[in-house]
A = this chain, B = another copy of it.
Amino acid sequence: MPPPRLTRAEQQAQTRERLLAAAERVVARCGYGGASIDLISAEAGYSKGAVYSNFESKEAVFLELLRRHMEKNITELAALMDLGADSISAALSGWLEAMAANDDCTMLAVELQLHAKRNPAFAGRYYALQRQSTLTLAGLIERYFIASGAHLPMDAIDLADAVTAISHGLALQRPDAAPGQPSEAGKVIDALLKGFTTRAAVS
């Protein structure tokens, strides 16, 4: 008899993964408040109890979701840091556009930010993760400006915050984009950054 496809640990990991993926979809669709454990477990095809077999609490689900998103962001950005000066500009533009195009991801971030603002316990962990992400982006932006021969119009961290803020703010402010039709957020952000660097280079 062949061994089973999945060991026990792998099975649980699969369940966890499915629950997290379901949570992500549900939060994006219904908001943090609307994302009930019932909805999430049903979306994943499990019973409510399965969530509590895999996570400490509802909040822990979202915290883990957040951790992964941040981690992914940071890893991706860090990879861009290794690029040469000539390709960094296009790479950053591409990344920002991809990020802005992923509405679900942005809405998740917004919902978690909102939750952090009202929930001190959550906030502690949230801001720690956010800080890492911001610092990485700030470093990248700095390199981007150096590569462009322009000088930063303001503190790199403030600029990184601003870039993230625009991305989130634009996602909030527009009706859900029809699928396939990417939001304009990426273009706008890109235009802003390009505006600074090209002008500065000219002067």
Contact = CB atoms under 8 A, between A and B. Distances in A.
Interface of A: 29-34, 107, 110-111, 113-114, 116-118, 123, 127, 130, 153-154, 158, 161-162, 164-170, 172-176, 184-185, 188, 191-192, 195-196, 199-200, 202-203
A45 to B, nearest CB: 21
Identify the interface centre among A116, A127, A162: most chain B CB within 10 Å of its CB.
A162
B167 A117 contact: no
Nearest to A165: B169
Given A33-B32, A165-B165, A200-B199, A130 B173 contact: yes
In the complex, the count of this chain's copies comes to: 4
A162 B188 contact: yes
Given A191-B154, A192-B153, A203-B199, A172 B113 contact: yes
Nearest to A130: B173
B165 A118 contact: no
Nearest to A113: B172
Contacts of A34: 33, 118
Contacts of A185: 165
27 contacts: A30-B118, A31-B33, A31-B118, A32-B33, A33-B33, A110-B172, A117-B175, A153-B195, A154-B192, A158-B184, A161-B173, A161-B174, A164-B173, A165-B165, A165-B166, A165-B167, A165-B169, A165-B170, A166-B166, A168-B169, A168-B172, A169-B169, A192-B192, A195-B196, A196-B199, A199-B199, A202-B203
Contacts of A110: 110, 114, 172
A189 to B, nearest CB: 8
Q: Which 3 A-B pairs have the closest CB atoms?
A: A165-B169, A33-B33, A169-B169
